[in-house]
Amino acid sequence: MFSFTVPLGKLVRAVSRLRGGGSALPGLVVEKIDPGFMQRTLSSLPHGVAVVSGTNGKTTTTKMVVELLESQGLKVFTNRTGSNFTRGVAAALLGEVDWRGRLDADVAVLELDEAHAVHFVNKVPPRYCLLLNVLRDQLDRFGEIDTTAMLLQRIAERTTGTVVLNREDPRVARIAGAISGPEVLYFGLDESLRSTFPNDDDMRTAAPGTSPQGDVPASQAADVVLRRVGTDDADFEFDGTRVATHMKLRGVYNIFNAAAALVLARTITGASGRPGDAAKLVKALSEVAPAFGRGESLTVDGQPLELVLVKNPSGFRLGLKSFPAKGYASMIAINDNYADGRDMSWLWDVEFESLREDGVEVLTGVRAYDMALRLQYDDVRFGSVDTDIPAALAEFIRGSAGKPKRVFCTYTAMLAIRRELSKITTVEVVS
Amino acid sequence: MTPAEDTALHASKGTIRVLQLYPRDMNIYGDWGNALVLRQRLLWHGYTPELLEYNVGDDFPEDVDLIVGGGGQDSGQTVIQDDLQARGEQLRGMAEDGTPMLVICGLYQLFGKFFKTKAGPVIPGIGILDVETVGTDERLIGNVALTSPEFGEIMGYENHSGQTSLGPGVEPLGTVSKGAGNNSKDNHEGARHRNVVASYLHGSLLPKNPAIADFLIRTAVERKYGTFVPGTPDDDFARLAREHAARRPR
């Protein structure tokens, strides 16, 4: 049967791009006129669909899985626009299918926000899922983190092949006990690294002046274990062998998620019947560059300017730990729009002592004064406070000439900063 | 040691022991912020703070001058409920005796008479506050502003599905001008009884509402030392953060 879905959807996509509009509108149109489009197209893929979800690190982890699979010669469809809602997937599909609606790919690897992932898996049961973590974030949307954990469990329940879980996050590891169908694999951390990655229950006990809580025993063997993290290298262990590799990615949390990506990529290649080439996997892993805004480095006035996305307390803590302040001029940009999280409470679950020695040059964003108040209570010096992001950014660049710069920013603040920076330097366009 | 701590050690006007109630299980929305503000403001006022913790199964510390307790998820409330009952009489005695206390969200509910959860089971409270809470399907989420006769305008953020109604034994903390507060029916937010301040607000509450922090500190110091000699904390950024928060939509 000839279907009008694809031509019409492609037309809407072309028109909406001409207008410079968002990436989800064509997806919405297709969902309305042909609700079966996404399911039909994705179910034709020989190696099925893999869903990546969790609070932190979805975008970078998905990027890693895609690049690892490509290193093994697989053709991968992904929603790399970061539009991690179902409509975004439908929109991305429209861009990739031919005029007869066929998708030239072996496997789909999709990053999905927790709530939208549930909506998605109800339509398209995935063959694989990778569940990264459950941390306090966007509680204004989901209510409680236990609710978020239930959403991830729902994704696992709908998965037909293999579920990959974070062994070190109790809310994620617990999902193994609640599902019976799919195979369960873990990614894990060396014991010496566990204190670097607080899970949500450790969040409070890791605060200064308090004693740490008892460790969750690592009873399960993990398929891939991150053994060591250096400044630009890391050791992973799998198949009983420890492999050291250089890493282009920055940030310990990104490197832990590299272990997650390895498990999923190894599983998919294993099932595809091609013997997975470990050397190629590790080489591909070492070459993965950060996704936009996730430790991305731009050049401004001949100096690097790093953008570090922070959107919840654990992400901010790990961001501060991964990107030491020494020698850098810092700016912090905090917005409170829906995509940032509207409740400022989270800033009080982050310790800023590591910024005390060097201080922070500029604070900006709608909630710049909340950030100022937060730093005041941690005895961290700061320079100017200006809620206007373009003006604050200009001052930051002017005032810190000749120094490498770093900006910690919430999601919508990051978009605003990239927009400003694109006027003066090369910023990769993500469409 | 920060410079303020160093000064305080050399010229302290006295020591105030601040107890965090169940920080391990009840800490979901920046509750550390409230404890941090009490610690720092005590220093800025020239007193030495001693921050203590009480978790399930611990020995209850002696000579506590001020208590602060936070919000938890439903699961956190389940974990602490038996232990809280066992400490109920002691805490009731301290509250009636005038110990200043701040309880937010989950512990506000359990300082009341009961919390009838959405799933059905009733978690008994310790009855310090004449309030009752019923779990609902409606989640009250967003920025809140209220006016209090004692503390002026109070700013914060709420996120709760339990709806609380006040009995005759307590006063509301204030009257809501933006947001829901205790429930979606009346315009009350929080509860006041003796020196207990109970509220649904986080954001965190104390940083942007230094008047409440200083009430708790003053009360603790006066009970222990007779008179409170305040310092001069710089509250310019608190004022500016409040002004910007006030302009944000619900």
Q: Which residues of A touch B139 (CB under 8 A)?
A: 143
- Which residues of chain B neighbour A374 with C-beta distances below 8 Å? 207
CA distance to partner chain A, nearest, from residue B105 (Å): 13
Confirm or reject contact between A370 and chain B (CB < 8 A).
yes
When pLDDT is averaged across residues A360-388 and rounded to a whole number, the result is 97
pLDDT value for A176: 94
- Asked if residue A302 has pLDDT above 90, the reply is no
Distance from CA of A298 to the nearest CA of B (A): 31
Q: For chain A, what is the mean pLDDT?
A: 84
- Distance from the Cα of B203 to chain A's closest Cα (Å) equals 4
Give B101's pLDDT tier (boundaries 50, 70, 90).
very high
Higher pLDDT, B147 or A36: B147
User: Is residue B10 annotated as a catalytic residue, yes or no?
Assistant: no
Position A214 pLDDT exceeds 50:
no
Alpha carbon distances (Å) from A58 to A122, A245, A288: 20, 22, 14
pLDDT of residue B118: 86
Mean pLDDT on A339-346: 89
Interface test with B, best of A134, A150, A204 (most B CBs within 10 A): A204
User: What pLDDT, on the 0 to 100 scale, is given for residue A21?
Assistant: 47
Q: Is the pLDDT of residue B157 over 90?
A: yes
Tell me: the pLDDT tens digits for A54-97? 988 888 899 999 999 999 999 999 986 555 566 678 777 877 78
pLDDT at residue number A271: 81
Residues of B with Cβ-Cβ distance to A140 under 8 angstroms: 141-142, 157, 159
Task: Provide the CA A138 distance to its chain's centre, in angstroms.
Answer: 14
Residue A202 confidence (pLDDT): 59
d(CA A78, CA A403): 37
Phi–psi pair at B75, nearest 5 degrees: -65, -40
pLDDT per residue as tens digits for the range B54-91 = 999 999 999 999 999 998 777 788 889 999 999 999 99
Q: Does A374 touch chain B (CB under 8 A)?
A: yes
3-class SS at B5? helix
pTM of the full structure: 0.74
3-state secondary structure of A316: helix
pLDDT in tens, B4-59: 655 555 578 999 999 999 998 888 778 899 999 999 999 999 999 999 999 999 99
Question: A207 and chain B: CB distance < 8 Å anywhere?
Answer: yes
Assess whether pLDDT exceeds 80 at residue A28. no
State how far residue B144 is from chain A, nearest Cα, in angstroms. 11
Catalytic residue among B105, B160, B188, B193: B105
* Any B CB within 8 A of A136 CB: yes
Q: Per-residue confidence at B188, pLDDT binned at 50, 70, 90?
A: very high
Give the model's pLDDT for residue A311. Answer: 81
The total number of residues shown for chain A amounts to 431
CB within 8 Å: A345 and B202: yes
pLDDT of residue A213: 37
Asked if omega into B184 is within 30° of 0 (cis), the reply is: no
Residues 6+ away with beta carbon under 8 Å from A29: A8, A9, A12
Nearest CA in chain B to A385: B237
Whole-number average pLDDT of chain B: 93
| Residue with more model confidence, A120 or A140 | A120
Q: Where does the pLDDT of residue A216 fall: very low under 50, low under 70, confident under 90, or very high at 90 and above?
A: very low
Q: What is the ipTM of this complex?
A: 0.94
Task: Identify the DSSP state of B235.
Answer: -
Which among B23, B30, B248 has the least Cβ separation from residue A348? B30
pLDDT value at residue B189: 98
| Number of inter-chain CB pairs under 8 A, A vs B | 105
Which positions in chain A touch B29 (Cβ < 8 Å)?
139, 343, 345
State how far residue A204 is from chain B, nearest Cα, in angstroms: 6
Active site residue B202: yes
- CB-CB: which of A140, A336, A368 is closest to B159? A140
What's the count of helices (H) and strands (E) in chain B, helices before strands? 7, 12
Give the best residue of B18, B40, B109, B204 to mutate against chain A (max A CB count within 10 A). Answer: B204
Residue B203 confidence (pLDDT) above 50: yes
Residue A258 has pLDDT above 90, yes or no: yes
DSSP per-residue codes, B41-63: HHHHTT-EEEEEEE-TTPPPPSS
Stretch (H or E) spanning B69: strand B66-69
- Paired residues of B176 in beta bridges: B146
pLDDT at A324 over 90: no
Alpha helices in chain B (DSSP H): 3-10, 31-44, 74-97, 106-110, 205-208, 210-225, 236-246
Closest in A210, A336, A379 to B248, CB measured: A336
pLDDT digits (tens, 9 = 90+) for A230-248: 878 999 999 989 999 999 8
For B115, residues 6+ apart whose C-beta sits below 8 A from its C-beta are B77, B109, B122, B123, B125, B133, B134, B135, B162
Q: Which chain B residues are Cβ-neighbours of A347 within 8 angstroms? A: 30, 33
Say yes or no for a CB contact (<8 Å) between A209 and B51: yes
| A345–B30 C-beta distance less than 8 A | yes
The mean pLDDT of A312-339, rounded to a whole number, is 88
pLDDT at A12 over 70: no
Q: Which range among A98-112, A180-194, A261-275 has the greatest average pLDDT?
A: A180-194
Q: Report which listed range, A60-69, A84-93, A190-199, B95-104, is most confident.
A: B95-104
Q: Considering only CB atoms, which residues of chain B are within 8 Å of chain A?
A: 2-4, 23-24, 27-33, 36-37, 40, 51, 53, 73-75, 139, 141-143, 157, 159, 161, 202-204, 207-208, 234, 237-238, 240-241, 243-245, 248
A8 pLDDT tier (thresholds 50, 70, 90):
low
Q: Which of residues A15 and A374 earns the better pLDDT score? A: A374
pLDDT class of A218 with cuts at 50, 70, 90: very low
**Other C-beta atoms lying within 10 Å of the C-beta of residue B60:** 12
3-class DSSP assignment, residue A200:
coil
Q: How far is residue B178 from each of residues B146, B149, B188, B247, measured CA to CA in Å? A: 7, 17, 11, 11
**Is the Cβ pair A377, B203 closer than 8 Å?**
no
pLDDT, residue A91, reads 76
* Local confidence band at A373 (pLDDT 50, 70, 90 cut-offs): very high
Measured between beta carbons, the chain A residues lying within 8 angstroms of B159 are 139-140, 143, 343
Predicted confidence (pLDDT) at residue A431 exceeds the cutoff of 50: no
Residue of B nearest to A209 (CA): B51
Give the active site residue among B45, B188, B202, B244: B202
- Give the CA distances from residue A10 to residues A30, A97, A101, B149, in Å, rounded to whole numbers and listed in that order: 9, 9, 10, 61
Is the pLDDT confidence value at B182 over 80? yes
